[in-house]
Amino acid sequence: MTAEWWFQDDDETLVWDGRPRWSAAIGGITAGVVLVAVAVAAAVLVDPRLAAGSLLGVGIAVWQVLRVRHTSYRVTSRAIWHKQGVVGRTVRRVGLPQVQNTAYSQSVTGSMFGYGTVTVEVAGGRDLKLRRIDDPETVRRTITDLIEDTDTDRELPGSPEQWRDVLSVIRDLTTAID
């Protein structure tokens, strides 16, 4: 995997790197295999030219494998990255300050085999989903810990004296209104 699709600032560190499990392609592979079987059966029973339909089945299966192979997730000390795309490429970066909430979910099989989805709620944008990743609870906790660390590192703008002046103005306005 090349790192050309994401950038890293000098003081930024890579915390977690992952991708969907290969099992994410099983549905498409199954559909492709069924289509190949139907095309071969139709070729044998009806017309040999129908065997060409098996190419569509192979294409569907290969597409699903490539789709999973070309999906990547990264969590850095400043952002969460999601890259996907076989023919084209879509890269999404969500800075940690824009993250409002995180959650993870696991299906019954996900609980049995240790995979699931981490959902990141983004302020002013659509949610980011890290689908079918290993150990989603740990990944969610990692993101949450990073958010809490950046929250404690933030300083309020201005000096205490400036904030006292703001408080004084608000008190004066409240008195004038009453």
Are the C-beta atoms of residues 138 and 116 closer than 8 Å to each other? Answer: no
The tens digit of pLDDT for each residue in 53-78 reads: 899 999 999 999 999 999 999 999 99
**Please, which pLDDT band fits residue 12 given cuts at 50, 70 and 90?**
confident
Q: Which residues contact 110 (CB under 8 A, 6 or more apart)?
A: 116, 132, 136
pTM for this entry: 0.73
Q: Mean pLDDT across the stretch 164-178? A: 91
Q: Mean pLDDT across the stretch 78-101? A: 92
The tens digit of pLDDT for each residue in 14-27 reads: 999 999 999 888 99
Residue 145 to residue 151: CA distance in whole angstroms: 10
- Percent of the chain clearing pLDDT 90 (strictly above): 69
Residue 2 to residue 91: CA distance in whole angstroms: 13
Q: Could you tell me which residues are beta bridge partners of residue 94? A: 80
The tens digit of pLDDT for each residue in 94-132 reads: 999 999 999 999 999 999 999 999 999 999 889 999 999
Residue 49: what pLDDT?
87
**Please, which pLDDT band fits residue 1 given cuts at 50, 70 and 90?**
very low
Residue indicated by tokens 């950046």: 150
